[in-house]
Amino acid sequence: MTTVGILYPGHAAEDDYPTAEKLLGPDVSLPVVHTYGEDLHAVDALLDLGRSDRLAVGAASLSKYHPDAVLWACTSGSFVFGWEGATAQAEGLAAAAGVPATSTSFAFVRAAQALGVRRVAVAASYPAEVATHFAEFLGRGGLSVTGLSSQGIVTAAEVGQLDPADVVELACAHDTPDAEAVLVPDTAMRTVALVDEIEERLGKPVLTANQVTIWAGLRLAGHDGAHDGPGALFRTGRS
């Protein structure tokens, strides 16, 4: 059994993790512990949400599951710190948890690298200011953003209420012809059960926040085998 502890902010799309457990089989466990802060896609609120003391409390709560790795399942609450700040955040989380740890923001970069893609389109639910921070973070990771959407949705709770059809349309509407993959960066958006459908429509890999979070956690835990999904990322089995 490989256990990846998930620190998830608030409540929105945390049911993506039991959905993923069913897809990945009985050898994968993804226990979720919630952290709390202001539910707002604004830089100051996100910096507060990702504070090291908040994550340390969450790591302590995850310890009862004896995780092999821990993931801060929050894209915006990591990339707003910038590359260096997000690195320090992940290192602090690893120290608090006593196991390898990272965040969704780094998971996106590593997943793109594993697929061998450099040019990506971003279908973001965030306001423009927050979405721009994500594009800058991807740039630091060596990725070129060919298109950046900002839907202007202010809270994670609102994102969690999107219908599956709306999520699919959001991803498909913001592809660009020169993008090698499409990135959907909000862990508040239910996407795990939709990745394959979006990929079929676009004809290219799709990376979503909860999907890459799980993938990165499994890789940190030493579980690098291929699965039937979700998405091309899991089918490659590449670390």
Q: In this predicted model, what pLDDT tens digit does every residue of 161-173 receive, in sequence order?
A: 788 999 999 999 9
Q: How many CB atoms lie within 10 A of CB 156?
A: 25
Give me the CATH topology for the region 2-106+210-236. Rossmann fold (3.40.50)
pLDDT for res 179: 97
| Token couple for 228 | 């039937």
pLDDT band at 42; cut points 50, 70, 90:
confident
**Cα–Cα distance between 88 and 10 in angstroms, integer?**
22
**Tens of pLDDT along 8-17?**
998 999 999 9
Domain 114-207 - what CATH class? Answer: alpha beta
The reply to whether domains 2-106+210-236 and 114-207 share a CATH topology is yes
The C-alpha angle with vertex 129 and arms to 113 and 176, in degrees rounded to 5, equals 45
37: phi then psi, degrees, rounded to nearest 5: 180, -170
Query: Counting beta carbons within 10 angstroms of the beta carbon of residue 203, is it exposed (0 to 12), middle (13 to 18) or buried (19 or more)?
Result: exposed
pLDDT tens by residue, 94-133: 999 999 999 999 999 999 999 999 999 999 998 899 999 9
Domain assignments of the chain as residue spans, ordered by start:
2-106+210-236, 114-207
- Across the beta sheet with 119-124, the strand order is 144-150, 119-124, 181-184, 206-208
Distance (Å) of CA 7 to CA 44, 72, 77, 112, 235:
20, 5, 11, 22, 25
Q: How high is the pLDDT of residue 238? A: 46
Q: pLDDT (tens digit, 9 = 90+) per residue, 144-159?
A: 999 998 877 877 778 7
Segment 162-188 mean pLDDT: 93
User: For position 157, what pLDDT does the model report?
Assistant: 75
Listed residue (34, 24, 4, 17) closest to 192, CA to CA: 17
pTM of the model: 0.94
Is the previous residue joined to 26 through a cis bond, with omega within 30 degrees of 0?
no
Count CB atoms within 10 A of the CB of residue 3.
Answer: 21
Digit-coded pLDDT (tens) for 62-97: 999 999 999 999 999 999 999 999 999 999 999 999
